[in-house]
């Protein structure tokens, strides 16, 4: 399919007005599609040094955008009024030229499925969105067993220790485990960031280290189990349930009426932990990539 509109590529942080145009494109698209095509990682990535961008313009107006992440995953969106004109294809070609090997489809909607099939891409990963309502006056409390202790994150001093714990806990999950200091600092600057909602677990067994953590996120009345990580040497000791409840308890105490989270469909242990806490799958995001 020949390109129907020019596609420009760029590396590194986008200029302010261009980044604004991408955010506006994403917002207008979400109003029509009912699902966000670009994740927080991509939105924060507009200002990051390690991203490739492809931008499609029609009559001087941004009508499509793709971003390639350092490990080769990407996100791609075309304005609903401009679809089926080959713009998605042009953006995908530019993305693969910039190193993309896979693309996220949030909400796994029919156009994404058809687009992936047209490009010979298959589902290579599934991420479940799970959610759970908070009952009126519900309180969730729990305590870590001895000798573990919990405290809040301290901005400006816990970053390196947290990044070390995160990469150890998520060694098998490149997007989470590969988080850089720049990405962490960008999250700290986000309006939702709350250091008291990033719970850090310590143990005398691992002096100077963060043993485990539960990072919660709150946007409006919705809470999120943003990330629960336990160092590999401490996994299998029954900490996951308590740690999950500690973060949920924090979110409930701040007044959320719903808690959501995302988890890999193949992560049986995490799925079981969340099911036990009352979470149920409400939607599934998929990653499309080359077969095999």
Ligand X SMILES: CC(C)(COP(=O)(O)OP(=O)(O)OC[C@H]1O[C@@H](n2cnc3c(N)ncnc32)[C@H](O)[C@@H]1OP(=O)(O)O)[C@@H](O)C(=O)NCCC(=O)NCCS
In the complex, the residues that contact ligand X under the rule CB under 6 A are 1, 33, 37, 76-78, 83-89, 103, 105, 109, 111-112, 114-116, 118, 288
Between 83 and 129, CB nearer to ligand X: 83
Between 93 and 166, CB nearer to ligand X: 93
Distance of CA 156 to the CA centre of its chain: 23
Between 28 and 280, CB nearer to ligand X: 28
Least distance (Å) between residue 105 CB and ligand X? 4
Between 105 and 227, CB nearer to ligand X: 105
Q: What is the DSSP string of 70-87?
A: TTSEEEEEE-GGG-SSSH
Least distance (Å) between residue 39 CB and ligand X? 11
Least distance (Å) between residue 175 CB and ligand X? 16
Q: What is the DSSP string of the chain?
A: ---SS-EEEEESSPPHHHHHHHHHHHHHHHHHHSS-SS-HHHHHHTT-TT-EEEEEEETTEEEEEEEE-TTSEEEEEE-GGG-SSSHHHHHHHHHHHTT--EEEETT--HHHHHHHHHTT-EEEEEEEEEEEEPPTT------PPTT-EEEE--TTTSHHHHHHHHHHHTTT-HHHHT--HHHHHHHHTSTT--GGGEEEEE-TTSTTS--EEEEEEEETTEEEEEEEEE-GGGTTSSHHHHHHHHHHHHHHHTT-SEEEEEEETT-HHHHHHHHHTT-EEEEEEEEEE---
Least distance (Å) between residue 124 CB and ligand X? 12
Q: How far apart are CA 42 and CA 66, in angstroms?
A: 9
Closest residue (Cβ) to ligand X? 88
Least distance (Å) between residue 154 CB and ligand X? 38
Between 69 and 288, CB nearer to ligand X: 288
Between 95 and 244, CB nearer to ligand X: 95
Between 89 and 244, CB nearer to ligand X: 89
Between 86 and 241, CB nearer to ligand X: 86
Least distance (Å) between residue 117 CB and ligand X? 7
Least distance (Å) between residue 51 CB and ligand X? 17
Least distance (Å) between residue 219 CB and ligand X? 21
């Amino acid at each position: 399919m020949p390109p129907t509109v020019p596609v420009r590529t760029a590396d590194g942080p986008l200029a302010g007005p261009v980044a604004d145009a991408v955010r506006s494109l994403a917002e207008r698209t979400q109003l029509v599609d009912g699902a966000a095509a670009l994740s927080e990682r991509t939105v924060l990535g507009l200002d990051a040094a390690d991203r490739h961008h492809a931008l499609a313009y029609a009559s001087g107006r941004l009508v499509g955008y793709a971003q390639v992440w350092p490990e080769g995953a990407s996100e791609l969106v075309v304005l609903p009024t401009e679809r089926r004109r080959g713009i998605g294809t042009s953006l995908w070609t530019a993305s693969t030229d910039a190193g993309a090997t896979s693309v996220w489809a949030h909400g796994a909607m029919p156009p994404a499925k058809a687009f992936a099939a047209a490009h010979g891409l298959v589902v290579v990963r599934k991420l479940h969105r799970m959610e759970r309502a908070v009952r009126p006056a519900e309180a969730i409390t729990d305590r870590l067993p001895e000798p573990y202790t919990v405290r809040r994150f301290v901005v400006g001093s816990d970053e390196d220790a947290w990044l070390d714990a995160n990469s150890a806990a998520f060694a098998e999950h490149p997007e989470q485990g590969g988080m850089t200091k720049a990405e962490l600092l960008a999250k700290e600057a986000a309006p939702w960031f709350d250091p008291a909602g990033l719970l850090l677990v310590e143990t005398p067994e691992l002096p100077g280290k963060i043993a485990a953590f539960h990072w919660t996120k709150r946007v409006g009345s919705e809470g999120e189990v943003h990330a629960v990580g336990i160092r590999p040497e401490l996994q299998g000791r029954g900490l996951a349930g308590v740690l999950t409840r500690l973060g949920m308890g924090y979110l409930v105490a701040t007044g959320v009426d719903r808690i959501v989270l995302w988890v890999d469909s193949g992560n049986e242990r995490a799925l079981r932990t969340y099911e036990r806490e009352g979470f149920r799958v409400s939607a599934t995001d998929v990653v499309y990539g080359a077969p095999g």
